[in-house]
Chains A and B, each alone.
Chain A
Amino acid sequence: MHIRKFDQDYSRRKFLEKTLKGTASAGILTSLWPLIAKSDSGITDISGAYPDELLSIEMHTKGKIKPGDTITADNVEYVEHLLDPIAVEQVKTLQRRIHIVETTTDITKMYPHDYLEATLRNQGKATFDAAGNVRTKEGGAWIGGNPFPDPKTPQEVIADMTLSWGRNDWQLSAVRDHDIDRNGDIAYQYDFIWTEFQTTSRSDGEFWQGRDDLLRLNTTWFTRPEDVNGTSYLNTWYYDQRKFPDLLGYLPAFRRVRQFPTNQRFEPLVPGMVLFLSDAWASGDPMLTWGNYKIVGHGPMLGAQGPANFMGGRENWEKPVHGGPKGVTFHDVWMELCPECITLECEPIGYPRSPVGKRRIWLDVRNQVFIASITTDRKGEVWKTFEPQFAQYQNEHETFTKAGMPAWSWTGVMIYDRLDGRMTRYFVGKRVQGGYRTEFETDDEWDVYNKYLTPQALQRLGG
């Protein structure tokens, strides 16, 4: 129990102060990361860094909302300030519901275990070079974990988000997508596989095959329906964030792997899908191709961060859906009060004709992942939201492991185009068409590389 001087106004004052100063550490009562770093209990509890009203939704809303409740149009007014504006609109007008759960205070449930270890091991070792790329103090490429676990500048925030998207050195996500039209009908359904392979910024501290000129390899391929079956893309990300990735693609129509231009990243990948390449992880483009980064706020938010968002025990981990005109527009999500989030704004300065005017990202300082992101169009009108769900892959029904520990990753995403009324929602399934299964570990990275991340692999995956 904390003494009463740490009331809601106290938190608000502290957050305002942080935003104005622009250099404050995460944490209200004490700095968050030193607290985590010195813990040797095996359970790294962050509750000492925040007053109760930032760890308890019940206290925060003065008893109006408590864990187990569901946010609907009838009670959204009490948490309106904790949601992005599109989520509020969805609850008010599209029958969206949000389940509320307790705040996660055990930090180990918010990271892959090796990534958290790397973050702790390497804290304080990161800096920026003259070009704006993250380097170790010795000038090398980054060696794993969040380079800036306690980010104080907008550049540090975006670097944490960009350098390791999924926080796993390798992961393969078997994804099932549904695209809902403005009438609320499921108009398109796709199965695709999204795989990321870090060559640098790896939790094992290695540079894979010595490739410190690269950041990651990222292959996406579709397996359903027939129209797109075999369509696959290999993005090779350079470590230098000023450079566009190389893009190789296998289109079934061409029956071969060809190189494609990669500067247009604001196009749907397939018909009906609202997702742009640029949207991925709210940092889908090399970070130095965007600019005018600004931290515009600090404060608590509701975010889908907890294990309740893992659907272990359900068929293929499929998420329940609800809402919208036909009751299928939204994933059921379980949100918790995230005690401290950084609000970051940025602009696509490297894309002069981009349809996006600005992106606003809410980043949970506990693990430096975004819990919501919205974009505005060039006229400044709020356009799209990109809302992820993260979880440790463990519940009372199932534990999905990585190296013997519960895995941690994203479990689903909702992308809503409010101007067009279209929703793209997809979840990480156990397995999708083609027999591809979600995986986070391998005993043979060379095999994984050859299997999914080479031009030859595209040819084989494409058929």
Chain B
Amino acid sequence: MLNLRKTWFWFMGIGFGCIAASPVLAQGGWGDNEYFDVSTSGFIRIESALSTSSKRNPYNQIGNPFNGVAVDRLDLFGGSDTYVRQGPQQDEDFNLSVLRGKFDVNVSLNRNWSFRGELRALFDVDLYKNFHLNDIPGANPLGRLDRKPNLFEYRVNGGSLMSRKNPGALEVSGKRFMMDLPRFYLDYHKGPLHVRMGNQQIAWGQSLFFRVMDVPNGLDLRRHSLLDYVPEEFSDKRVPSLAVRVQYMAGSWELDGFVQHFRPTIYGNPNTPYNVIASQFTVHDLYKDYDDKFNFGMRARGDIGPIKFQAMAARRYNPDGTFRWTQSGVHKPLGPGFEGTEGLMAATAYEQDTTGVHSAREWFTFAGLARLDGVNGLNASIAEFPAAQALGAVLAPDYTFAAQELDLFFRLSGGLRGHIAREYHRESLFGVGFGYVFNGAPGSLFDQLIANVEIQYAKDRHFTNPSLSQYRIVEDEAIVSVVLEKYQRFTPAFPATYFVLQWMHRTESDIFGRHLSGMGGSVDRAARDASTPGSANYIAFALQQPFPNLVWRLDLGMLYDLEGGILIQPALRWRPGNNWAVEAFYNFIDGGVRDRNPNYNALSTTEWADEFTLRIGYEF
């Protein structure tokens, strides 16, 4: 079996060797090699996002909408009370304040070999008013990430619960900093053959933001999540991975294949600015059981007459993974007066803690936000965990019963955290793409209009069951995108405007991969009682309007979920010269464009994140 750690060391050794030895090589025999060259570049940048919304991130303890709010609780036995969730209520001025550096080295070794290394480093200057555990009386959750905000460390479990390992190969990270090598590879080129070996991103497809053919890498959402500068798409987000990529030009056809170490999508940690997993959950990421897995893919691209054609097939682990209830393993009693239940509680999916859920209303609210089913979710945590039944939990036939049962346990416990496991599943992907360039009359709508259609078919895709049951939803899924793009010049005084209009259709899940059967839940309704959308549909529109000399450029990006959510990002890019680079952009998100429950659309998940971002960089 391939020893990954040893392989990494080899690659790092070769790469760092190239860098370290380059001055010596340049003066010695290698310097006589006419192809030998070492070049470096990079930048240092301040990135700051100022919140312009009074809303807080609800998934974090400090943004929980139930903090300080009196909620009536009514249990199965008629007991009732009014409870005020104890938690800090503080507004955040800055969602993001980081200092970022990037250093690139490119070494041409000889006619056929070259090396590329990129160091990415971020340091958070900590203007985000972090959550402090002591602000919640009695809080003592198990799990380091849930006790103290940690912006960058990615911890996983596997084998036995709570074993830990940082899976970010070629990465060093801490609470407030991270350094990694997103590009660190050797290139070999000879004739029509190109082989790239090392840590790399692989991106496919013509669609922008809609990841139809762009399947090789997951996304790293620790750095400004998906709310970064739209014109950069996912360049900072794709999770780089150790891979061997082989490209071969067979005439005018490009054949492209890769074997890649599987690495998952990385979500923001609990209580960090862009976290999207409710912090009442403790996540057991079981990636450690998968870090010896590999993905495979191949693609062919070429022309069939006037049609640009591409086809791809991949066998991969879906980087998004699925979530299910798991035993908490936490030996705490159900609540005050229930000493002796520690063993049973450890075998349930719950952990008693004041950072958990305190009321049925909070339960159902967050089930809706997370696109889960509040009733089925409760039942799965009972049916699949005998210890829960031993503690007296029974299956709930309906919303009312479930709410009262939940309130009973919340009243008894003083707060329950849910423990969920994240696992990964193999799937087979097939895709085709067609492109055509229209050549209409000069200046007309069809003048150099580029149309592309891309289709992905996923065989046996696993989805998180909205009940968080271990019995995941397994279905085939089709994803289709249509992309239209063109330049149009409206006036001789300004350069042409670049337009992109896209539509994406997904048959089973939303744009974040959440199964559609989890849509529509709310504080007073479980998703199973909502009308599940038959499909998810998105329209994206983007334009770029450069000013003369390209010193200024105006960008506008818009994503509309036909279920009623919209994200709009106007942006201004300024290149004043002398190596300075400035970008400013504003994210406006409205999850309630249509008069219906915002939990039907995907974008309401980040509705709280209206913000103005400024980036000022200096290149060298």
Contacts and interface: CB of A to CB of B under 8 A. Distances in A.
B437 A229 contact: no
Interface in A291-306: none
Given A261-B486, A261-B487, A463 B442 contact: no
B108 A434 contact: yes
A264 B301 contact: no
A315 to B, nearest CB: 16
B619 A463 contact: no
Interface in B294-320: 301, 308
Contacts of B577: 179, 181, 185, 187-188, 271-272
A264 B495 contact: yes
Interface string A448-463: 0011001111011001
Contacts of A262: 448
B496 A264 contact: yes
A451 B191 CA distance: 7
Contacts of A457: 194
A377 B238 CA distance: 44
Contact of B485 (A261, A267, A352): A261
A420 B116 contact: no
Contact of B549 (A253, A420, A447): A420
B171 interface: no
A271 B204 contact: no
Nearest to A243: B439
Nearest to B42: A226
Nearest to A463: B116
Interface of B is mostly: strand
B46 interface: no
B449 interface: yes
Interface in A175-209: 179, 181, 185, 187-188
B442 A352 contact: yes
B99 interface: no
Interface residues of B, number: 76
A272 B619 contact: no
Contacts of B492: 353-355, 377-378
A28 B214 CA distance: 64
Interface string A221-248: 0011111010000000000000110100
Contacts of B549: 268, 271-274, 420, 422
Contacts of B203: 254-256
Contacts of A78: none
Nearest to B229: A253
B478 interface: no
Contacts of B548: 268, 420
Given A254-B233, A352-B443, A271 B41 contact: no
B102 interface: yes
Interface stretch (B29-37, B140-148, B386-394): B29-37
B442 A351 contact: yes
B253 to A, nearest CB: 10
B235 A255 contact: yes
B450 A259 contact: yes
Interface residues of A, number: 60
A266 to B, nearest CB: 7
B206 A258 contact: yes
A437 interface: yes
A68 interface: no
> Chain A interface mostly helix, strand, loop or mixed?
loop
A450 B189 contact: yes
A253 B231 contact: yes
A271 B575 CA distance: 7
Interface string B143-174: 00000000000000000000000000000000
B189 A225 contact: no
Interface in B18-50: 34-39, 41-43
B546 interface: yes
Nearest to B102: A226
A341 to B, nearest CB: 29
A115 B4 CA distance: 55
A404 interface: no
A402 B46 CA distance: 48
Contact of A455 (B43, B238, B254): B254
A266 B546 CA distance: 12
Nearest to B230: A253
Given A267-B496, A354-B492, A435 B37 contact: yes
A259 B308 contact: yes
A403 interface: no
A270 interface: yes
A272 B575 contact: yes
Contacts of A459: 194, 247
Contacts of A463: 106, 116, 183
A435 B108 contact: yes
Given A255-B238, A256-B205, A463-B116, 5 more contacts: A255-B203, A263-B487, A435-B106, A456-B248, A460-B194
